[in-house]
Amino acid sequence: MKKIFILLLFGFYATVNLSAQIKLDAVVGGGSSSMVQYFSDHHQIKINPDYLVNAGVMASTKFRKDGMLGLQLGMLWSYSGFKSYLPDWDVSGQNGNDVIWQSEPNKIRSHFLKIPLTLDFNVYERLGLLFGGHLNLRLSSNEERLALFAIQATDESISGYRKSIAGVHAGVYGKITDRIRLDAKVFNDINSRLYNPGYIDNIQFRELGFSFNLNYRLNP
């Protein structure tokens, strides 16, 4: 997956007019993320969102000078996570089928290198739309090992986490000044980052979240 993504990066940039100006931005922002399971009715795990922060650089250019369509390639450090709760069976057993959750969550946080590749559609003057994909490269692993216990994964041979996770994102942006821009994005994993196919109903967790980033133009 990582090799394919890198090849796509070179392929996209090969289509860009080499005479076009490359603009470089510093990026800082934050938001919220959580883990979700699609197509599952398993309710023995409760997940709550937690904060995320990211910072890095973004290079951008236009396919045509003064055109509406552009391309962005970024490199961001991202620190994100979630809170997980397991059932308190000692208490839940006294209430029939009612599940009582543990009061203290397991807080799982990890460091990632996020590489977003984004199409920039400048809809009207200072407003635009963003659509693209990204690759999350894991920089830490100890936190994710804790997550395996958080999803009741007891057999390490069939449970695990991915070191690289592909995702998609979409959003809007507004230019505050000629040098400052505010982005708002939602994002979701394509492939699962935490999994345990042997536990009850094939646990497959994907990250879902949103972020607000402030971009500051570094060059003219």
- Residue-wise pLDDT for 141-191, tens only, equals 766 666 655 555 455 555 677 889 999 999 999 999 999 999 999 999 998
Q: Which is more confident, 216 or 13?
A: 216
Q: How confident is the model at residue 3 (pLDDT cuts 50, 70, 90)?
A: low
The enclosing domain of 94 has a CATH number of 2.40.160.20
Q: Is the pTM of this model over 0.85?
A: no
SS percent in the chain: helix, strand, coil, step 5: 15, 55, 30
pLDDT at 204: 79
Pair type for strands 164-175 and 160-161: unpaired
Range of the domain at 105: 2-217
Give per-residue pLDDT as tens, 57-77.
999 998 887 788 999 999 999
Q: Check pLDDT > 90 for residue 217.
A: yes
Rg of the chain over CA atoms, in angstroms? 20
Q: How many domains in the chain? A: 1
pLDDT for 182 equals: 97
Angle formed at CA 41 by CA 103 and CA 37, multiple of 5 degrees: 75
Place of tokens 């490359």: 22
What does the block give as tokens for 82? 């979630």
| pLDDT for the residue 8 | 54
In 10 A of CB 23, how many CB atoms? 17
Confidence class for position 97, pLDDT limits 50, 70, 90: low
Could you give the percent of the chain with pLDDT greater than 90?
45
